[in-house]
């Protein structure tokens, strides 16, 4: 089953034109992405059907779109059923503004840990990676094994999705994870924190080796996506005509800037060097102490700011957003319609990419897009 997205070749031409202009800092307005429907009743019916097909608990529209696949993808034979279910779901979704049809194979945050021997734990709405017996940091070396079952599943599902949907949707990269986050899954977070103090050279060596495997895994997926895919997108709502990814280091929440510089920055510099449009996932206020270092990376094109659970929404962080833009970086946010309008009024829209959390129908989207365009400067 293919995806009937109601997205035309002219729509794809517009997406490529405007996103390419945004990457070049030439778009005089923000990118605004909105999903919605013109048939709420059909969408509710399809959501219910998809939940039954995938054996899921009741889930929201957004949870279904980004549902972790390990809870339903236990065998290779399930791939066709998974794609059928998502094709029907996406056929009931409309893309407004700078949004486009997309789907990414969500195997959890940091599936490379499973490629390297971690067990995969899953529950409705979440996935985690762990080892009962932590790797021995002094003797362990990551195995670059293309035959690993999880690596093969991700690669094959990506390939099948591109074969089916590459002409009608962007199939995204799975969430490969960040180097230190992957190492924390294999070593244990508390133990890795101790290692940064007691065995820093071993941490540096292991992190560097993971980066080299990560880059090969990225290249592998990029090759699978390239033949007929409509551009490139990571797990986040970012579109690019070239090599792109959202880099991250959630482990950074627990370490000082000097430790970040020693253990995380080399990984990020190497990954930025291999990408045309590198972005960074800045997650929560505990990651802010590392922002200046990130902004200094010349090949890092932008910052995705996620305030974190319980924190004020994105529009309440104006000084931080201004700091990102004043450094010459782009900025991607998940934000309410009112929040995006406020940011545009106070900071100007240039350089921002807003994914609007509110669903809309066509007339609501048209009215909103006119309003935010009028505020842009």
> DSSP code of 285?
G
Q: Which residues on adjacent β-strands are paired with residue 36?
A: 94, 360
Strands 94-97 and 31-36: antiparallel
Question: Count of domains in the chain?
Answer: 1
Confidence (pLDDT) at 85? 76
Confidence (pLDDT) at 203? 97
Q: What is the CATH number of the domain that holds 129?
A: 3.20.20.210
Taking each helix axis as running N to C, give the angle between helix 200-225 and helix 149-165, from 0 to 180 degrees, rounded to the nearest 10: 30
Q: Give residue 131's domain range.
A: 9-375
For residue 28, being part of any structural domain is answered with yes
For residue 3, being part of any structural domain is answered with no
Taking only the tens of pLDDT, the chain with its 377 residues reads 566 678 899 999 999 999 999 999 999 999 999 998 877 777 676 677 666 666 665 555 555 566 667 655 555 457 777 788 788 777 788 999 999 999 988 888 999 999 999 998 877 667 889 998 999 999 999 999 999 999 998 998 899 999 988 888 999 999 999 999 999 999 999 999 999 999 999 999 999 999 999 999 999 999 999 988 899 999 999 999 999 999 999 999 999 999 999 999 999 999 999 999 999 999 999 999 999 999 999 999 999 999 998 999 999 999 999 999 999 999 999 999 999 999 999 999 999 999 999 889 999 999 999 999 998 87
CA distance 65 to 211: 29
For residue 245, being part of any structural domain is answered with yes
For residue 189, being part of any structural domain is answered with yes
With tokens 């219910």, the residue in question is 48
For residue 177, being part of any structural domain is answered with yes
């Amino acid at each position: 089953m293919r995806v009937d997205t109601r997205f035309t070749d002219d729509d794809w031409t517009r997406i490529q034109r405007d996103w390419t202009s945004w990457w070049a800092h030439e778009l005089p307005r923000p990118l605004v992405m909105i999903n919605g429907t013109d048939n709420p009743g059909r969408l509710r019916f399809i959501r219910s059907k998809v939940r039954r097909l995938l054996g899921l608990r009741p889930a929201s529209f957004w949870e279904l779109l980004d549902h972790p696949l390990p809870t339903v993808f236990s065998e290779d034979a399930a791939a066709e059923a998974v794609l059928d279910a998502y094709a029907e779901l996406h056929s009931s979704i409309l893309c407004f503004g700078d949004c486009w049809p997309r789907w990414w194979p969500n195997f959890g945050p940091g599936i490379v840990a499973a490629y390297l021997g971690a067990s995969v734990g899953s529950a409705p709405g979440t996935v985690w990676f762990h080892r009962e017996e932590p790797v021995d940091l002094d003797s362990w070396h990551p195995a670059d094994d293309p035959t690993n079952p999880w690596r093969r599943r991700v690669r094959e599902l990506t390939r099948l999705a591109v074969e089916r949907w590459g002409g009608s949707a962007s199939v995204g990269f799975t969430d490969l994870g960040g180097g230190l986050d992957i190492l924390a899954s294999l070593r244990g977070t508390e133990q890795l924190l101790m290692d940064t103090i007691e065995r820093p050279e071993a941490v540096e060596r292991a992190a560097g080796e993971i980066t080299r495997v990560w880059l090969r895994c990225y290249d592998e997926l990029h090759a699978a996506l390239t033949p007929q895919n409509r551009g490139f997108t990571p797990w986040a709502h970012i579109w690019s005509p070239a090599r792109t990814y959202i880099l991250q280091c959630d482990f950074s929440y627990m370490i000082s800037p000097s430790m970040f510089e020693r253990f995380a920055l080399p990984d990020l510099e190497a990954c930025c060097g291999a990408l045309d449009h590198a972005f960074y996932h800045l997650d929560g206020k505990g990651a802010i102490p590392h922002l200046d270092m990130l902004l200094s990376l010349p090949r890092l094109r932008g910052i995705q700011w996620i305030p974190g659970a319980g924190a004020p929404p994105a529009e309440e962080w104006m000084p931080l957003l201004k700091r990102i833009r004043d450094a010459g970086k782009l900025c991607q946010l998940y934000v309410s319609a009112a929040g995006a309008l406020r940011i545009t009024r106070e900071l100007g829209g240039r350089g921002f990419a807003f994914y609007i959390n509110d669903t809309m129908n066509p007339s609501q989207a048209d009215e909103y897009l006119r309003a935010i365009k009028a505020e842009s400067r």
